C-alpha cells in the first residue's frame, strides 16, 4: 500500500451516520436534526453520504421518515446521496425519490439473513443483484454490501471462500463497488487484510469498500489493514455511532473523525476537514444527549494549536 501511505492515492470515506449511525437509537431523532447532520457532514467534506434506508418502519422506526429526509436534502452536484434498501419494494420506493444511489445488502450466513431480511443468504444475494439492476435501469448508482462477512452473531465463523464467491457473483451485477461488512465488530487486522486482498483480486477492477464496527476495539487497526490490502473506500460514522437492531451486541461504526486522524497523520488524502468533523461529532452527541464513542472528540488537539517558544522551552518541567 505504498502509494496510499505516501499520499499519492486518496481514500474515499462514505459517511453513514444519518442511517447506520442513527438506526439503533432508542430515542427518535427529528427529520430536521437528520438534515442538519447531513449539512454538517457535507461541510466537513463528505461527498458520499448514506442518508436513510427505505425499510419497514415498524421494524426500524428511526427511519420511518425516509421520504421526508430525501425530500429535504440540499442540492449539491458533487455530493452522492445513498439510500439503503433490502428488497425490491424498498428499491422501488427509493427510486421514486431523488436519491442518487441504492445500497443493497446480502448476508454471508443463512441464520442472520433470515433474521435481518427474511431471506436465505442466497436469496439475499439475488435480491441485491436485482436492486443494482433496477438502479442502473433508472440511471442511478448501485452498490452491494456483504454483511457478516467476518463473522455471524448467530452462526459464528463465516467461510472466506463463501464470501469471495458471493463477492464475485455480486460484482457480475455491475455495482459501483462491493463492500465487506464487519457487522458485529469481530474482525482482526490479519483477517481483514486477507479478505480484502482476496476479494479485490476476485472482483478487479471493481473497488472494494469496507464497513467496519469497533465493537471489540479493533476497528481503526482494521481500517489500516484494509487500506494496505487494497480497499479504497471506507464507511465511517461521525462520533462512532451505529449498530444493527437485528445483530445482538453490535455497536458503533468506526468514527469518521478517528479515521481522519489515522489517515491525515499518515499523509493519506481524504478531502475532509478533520476539525469540522470533530465539531459535527460533538454536535451530534448533544443531539443524542450523551458522549459518543469516537476518541477524537474527547482527546486534546494534536499538534496543540497554541504552541509558542515558551511552551517548547521545557520551563517548569
Catalytic (active-site) positions: 244
Residue appearing with cell numbers 476495539: 217
Cα end-to-end distance, the chain, whole Å: 40
- In the three-class reduction of DSSP (H, G, I as helix; E, B as strand; rest coil), residue 47 is classed as coil
Nearest in space to 142 (alpha carbons), one of 97, 173, 167: 173
Distance CA 204, CA 42 (A): 30
CA distance linking residue 149 with residue 162, whole number of Å: 9
Give the residue among 182, 173, 308, 176 at the shortest CA–CA distance from 251: 182
Question: What's the chain's Rg over C-alpha atoms?
Answer: 19
**Which residues does 133 contact at the CB level (< 8 Å), separation at least 6?**
142, 173
Tell me which residue of 199, 188, 92, 97 sits closest to 144, measured CA to CA. 199
**CB contact burial 136-169 (16+ within 10 A = b; e otherwise):** bebebbbbbbbbbbbbbbbeeebebeebbebbeb
d(CA 151, CA 157): 5
Strand extents, DSSP E, the chain: 12-15, 48-54, 80-85, 101-107, 141-147, 178-182, 208-212, 233-236
* Maximal CA-CA distance, the chain: 69
Amino acid at each position: 500500500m505504498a502509494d496510499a501511505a505516501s499520499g499519492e492515492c486518496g481514500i474515499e470515506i462514505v459517511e453513514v451516520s444519518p442511517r447506520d449511525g442513527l438506526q439503533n437509537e432508542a430515542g427518535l431523532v427529528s427529520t430536521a436534526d437528520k438534515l442538519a447532520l447531513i449539512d454538517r457532514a457535507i461541510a466537513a467534506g463528505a461527498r458520499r453520504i448514506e442518508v436513510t434506508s427505505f425499510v419497514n418502519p415498524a421494524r426500524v422506526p428511526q427511519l420511518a421518515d425516509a421520504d421526508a429526509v430525501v425530500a429535504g436534502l440540499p442540492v449539491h452536484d458533487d455530493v452522492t446521496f445513498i439510500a439503503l434498501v433490502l428488497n425490491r419494494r424498498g428499491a422501488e420506493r427509493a427510486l421514486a425519490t431523488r436519491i442518487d444511489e441504492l445500497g443493497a445488502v446480502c448476508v454471508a450466513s443463512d441464520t442472520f439473513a433470515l433474521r435481518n431480511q427474511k431471506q436465505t443468504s442466497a436469496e439475499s444475494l439475488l435480491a441485491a443483484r436485482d436492486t443494482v439492476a433496477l438502479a442502473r435501469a433508472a440511471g442511478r448508482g448501485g452498490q452491494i454490501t456483504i454483511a457478516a462477512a467476518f463473522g455471524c452473531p448467530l452462526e459464528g465463523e463465516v467461510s472466506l471462500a463463501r464470501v469471495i464467491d458471493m463477492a464475485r457473483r455480486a460484482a457480475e451485477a455491475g455495482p459501483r463497488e462491493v463492500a465487506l461488512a464487519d457487522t458485529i465488530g469481530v474482525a482482526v487486522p490479519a483477517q481483514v487484510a486477507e479478505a480484502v486482498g482476496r476479494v479485490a483480486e476476485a472482483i478487479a477492477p471493481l473497488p472494494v469498500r469496507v464497513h467496519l464496527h469497533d465493537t471489540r476495539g479493533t476497528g481503526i487497526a482494521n481500517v489500516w489493514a484494509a487500506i494496505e490490502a487494497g480497499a479504497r473506500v471506507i464507511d465511517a460514522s461521525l462520533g462512532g455511532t451505529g449498530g444493527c437492531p437485528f445483530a445482538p451486541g453490535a455497536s458503533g461504526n468506526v468514527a469518521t473523525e478517528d479515521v481522519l486522524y489515522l489517515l491525515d497523520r499518515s499523509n493519506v488524502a481524504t478531502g475532509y476537514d478533520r476539525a469540522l468533523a470533530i465539531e459535527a461529532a460533538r454536535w451530534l452527541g448533544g443531539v443524542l444527549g450523551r458522549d459518543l464513542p469516537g476518541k477524537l472528540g474527547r482527546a486534546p488537539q494534536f499538534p496543540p494549536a497554541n504552541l509558542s517558544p515558551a511552551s517548547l522551552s521545557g520551563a517548569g518541567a
